[in-house]
A and B are shown apart, each in its own frame.
Chain A
Amino acid sequence: MSASAAGSLAAGRLGAGRSSAGFAAGVTILAVAVLVAVLGPSLVPHDPLAQALAAGNAPPDAAHWLGRDHLGRDIAARLAAGTRISLLVALGATLLSVILGAGLGLVAEANGRWASFVVFGAFDMVRALPSILLALTLMVALGVGTAPLVLALGIAFAPHMAMVARAAWRRETASGYVAAARVMGAAPLATLGRHILPNIAGALVTQAAIVVPRAITTESVLSFFGLGVAPDTPSWGRMIAGAARFAEAAPHAVLAPVAALCVVTLGFALVGDRLRLALDPLREHGR
C-alpha cells in the first residue's frame, strides 16, 4: 500500500492548507492544549487525585467548574492534569515510532536489499495486525503503566513512519538533483545532509501530525479496556473509561474528556494539513 495513500487518509482532508482560518484555528487549539499541559493542575485550585466519596458525580458548580467524577474528584483539575499526560504519552510514542520506524527503515534501506527485506518484513508483520489487537497483546505482555504504553504505541506506529521514510528516501534518491549534485562532485554525506534528510524530515513531521492524534485515541481505547496508564492517572482515556458507566447519571464527567479528545484531534488535523502543504509538496498523489 503506497505511503501516499496512507497519508491521504487524513492529511489534506480538511482543506486547511488552503484556508488560513482553519490553520489559525488549529494552531490556537494546539497552543491552548500545550499551555494547559505545561501549566498543568496549577490552573485549577483542586487536587486531581483527592476523592470525596459522598459527592460522587456532582454536577458543575461554582467551586467545581466541570463537576466531579464518580469518586468525587474534580474533573477540571483532572482534565488539566490529563492534558499533560495524554500529550506526553502521544508525543513520546510518536517520537519512538520515528526512531524505531524511520530510523531502522532508513538504515535498512541504505544497507541493501536483504536488510531492507528483513526489516520491512518485520514492519509488515506489525502492520498486518489491527493496532488494537497488537497493542492489547503487547500491553498484556509488558504490563500496565505509562512506559509500557508508550513502548506499545511506538511499536504499533513504527511501520507507518518506516513506510513514509522509505517512500521519501526513494523519491529523493531517484530525483534528478541528487544525481546532478553527485555529478558535480558533492560528497555523498553532504548530499544526504543538505538535500535528502530535510525532505524526509518534512514527510515525517507531516506523518507525525497524523500519528499523534491516533496515539491519543489508541491510548484512550486501551485505557477504556483497562490497559494503558495506571488507574488513577487522569489521562483522557482513563477518564472516559471511568465515567462511561455513569454516563446517564453524570454526562458531564464523560463529555469533558471526550470533548477534549475530539478538539485536540481536530487541532492536529488542521495543523497537519498546512504542514503537509509546506513540507511535503511533491507528494505523488497530489493530495
Chain B
Amino acid sequence: MSARLADVGLALLRQALLLAAITVAVFALMRVVPGDVVDAMAMEGSLDEEAVAALRADLGLDAGVLAQLRIWVVRALGGDLGLSLRFDRPVAELILAALPTTLALGTLALAVGLALGIALPAAAVLWPRSPFPVLVEAVNLWSIALPTFCVGLAGILVFSVWLGWLPVIGQMLLPVLILGIDNAGQIAKPLHEDLKEAATAAHIRTARAKGLSPARIVLRHLLPNAMTTVVALGGMMLAALIGGALTMEVLFGLPGLGTLAYQAVSGRDYPVIQAVVMVFAAGVVAVNLLADQLQRALDPRLRR
C-alpha cells in the first residue's frame, strides 16, 4: 500500500515540477516573441514614441525578463494571476468566464466519443452480420482521413448557411458531434479487435455453450476486460481532445479557453497567455495522471 502511495506521490511531484518548468519556458518564449501588447495599442491609437515608452513602463514590460518572472510567480502563488494587458480585467476573471465553455465542450465530446466508441464495437460483436461492423470501419476511417477543421467548415456551410437549422455563432451541437465522432473513431476499431479476440477465449465459448445471451456476455465478460484499453486510449483521447477543442472553438466562435488563448497569443497579452497555458498544461497533466493510475489499478501487469 505504501508503495502505491509513494508511486502516486512521486508522480505528483514530477508533474508539479513539470508545470513549473512549463511556466518558465512559456514566459521566456513569450518574451522572445517580437512585438508586445503596447505595439498592439500603438497600432490603432496614436501613441507617439514617448507615450509608448511610458505605457511600457506602466505595464511593467520594461523590466528584465527575470524580474518580470519573479513578480508573476510571487503574485500567482498568492492566487493573483494579474491583469490582462489588453482589457485591464483580472486574468482569473477571464479564465473563469471561459472555462465552463471549454469544459462543457470537452466533456460532452468525450461523452459522445466514449458512448459511440464503446457502443458501436459492442454492437458489432453482438451482431456481426448487421451494419454495425461497417459503421465501426466508417467511423475509424473518418477519424483517420478527415481533419476536424475541414469537417467543421463543411458543417457550418451545410447546417448553418444552406439548411439554416443551426445558428452560426456560439452553438455547441456541431463541434461536440464532430469531435465526438472523431474520438469515437479513435477507439472503435481497437476496441472491436479487442472484443473479437476476447470473444474467442475459452471461458467465453463456455458461456455461450451454456446458453448465456450474447448481450450479457458482452456486458459482463468482454467489456470489463477491455476497460484497460478504453482507459489507455481515453486518456490520450482527452489530451488530444483539448487540442481539437481549440480549433473548434475558434472556428465556431465559442468563448472558451481556446479562443482566449488564440486571441491572447495574437495580441501578445502575456498574463493571459501565461495563465491559459498553465491551465491547459495542468489539465492535461491531471488527465494523464488519472489515466495512468486507473490503468495501473485495472491491469496488474502494469504495476511495478
Contact = CB atoms under 8 A, between A and B. Distances in A.
B145 A266 contact: yes
A13 B18 contact: no
B147 A261 contact: yes
A265 B33 CA distance: 33
A130 B32 contact: no
Contacts of B21: 121-122, 125
Nearest to A117: B14
Chain B interface: which size bin? 35 or more
Given A266-B144, A266-B145, A136 B262 contact: yes
A1 B232 contact: yes
Given A136-B262, A247-B157, A262-B146, A128 B232 contact: no
- State which size class the interface on A falls in: 35 or more
A247 B161 CA distance: 11
A217 B243 CA distance: 13
Contact of B232 (A5, A140, A248): A5
Contacts of B284: 127-130
B141 A14 contact: yes
A14 B144 contact: yes
A217 B144 CA distance: 11
Interface string A133-152: 10011101101000000000
A221 B144 contact: no
A281 B302 CA distance: 20
Contacts of A6: 236
Contacts of B239: 1, 130
A110 interface: no
B145 A129 contact: no
B265 interface: yes
A183 interface: no
Nearest to A224: B149
Contacts of B247: 132, 221
Interface in B146-170: 146-147, 149-150, 153, 157, 161
B277 A8 contact: no
B242 interface: yes
Contacts of A9: 186, 233, 236
A137 B193 contact: no
Contacts of B261: 133, 136
A106 interface: no
A6 to B, nearest CB: 6
Contacts of B297: none
B232 A2 contact: yes
B25 A130 contact: no
Given A130-B239, A140-B265, 5 more contacts: A14-B140, A125-B21, A125-B281, A240-B153, A261-B150
Nearest first, the 5 closest Cβ-Cβ pairs linking A and B are A130-B243, A5-B232, A13-B189, A141-B33, A128-B281
Interface of B: 14, 17-18, 21-22, 25-26, 29-30, 32-34, 140-141, 144-147, 149-150, 153, 157, 161, 186, 189-190, 193, 229, 232-233, 235-236, 239-240, 242-243, 246-247, 250, 261-262, 265-266, 273, 277, 280-281, 284-285, 288, 291-292
30 contacts: A2-B232, A6-B236, A13-B144, A121-B14, A121-B17, A121-B21, A122-B21, A128-B22, A128-B285, A129-B280, A130-B240, A133-B246, A133-B261, A133-B277, A137-B26, A137-B29, A137-B265, A138-B29, A140-B265, A141-B32, A143-B34, A244-B153, A248-B161, A254-B153, A262-B147, A265-B145, A266-B141, A266-B145, A285-B229, A287-B190
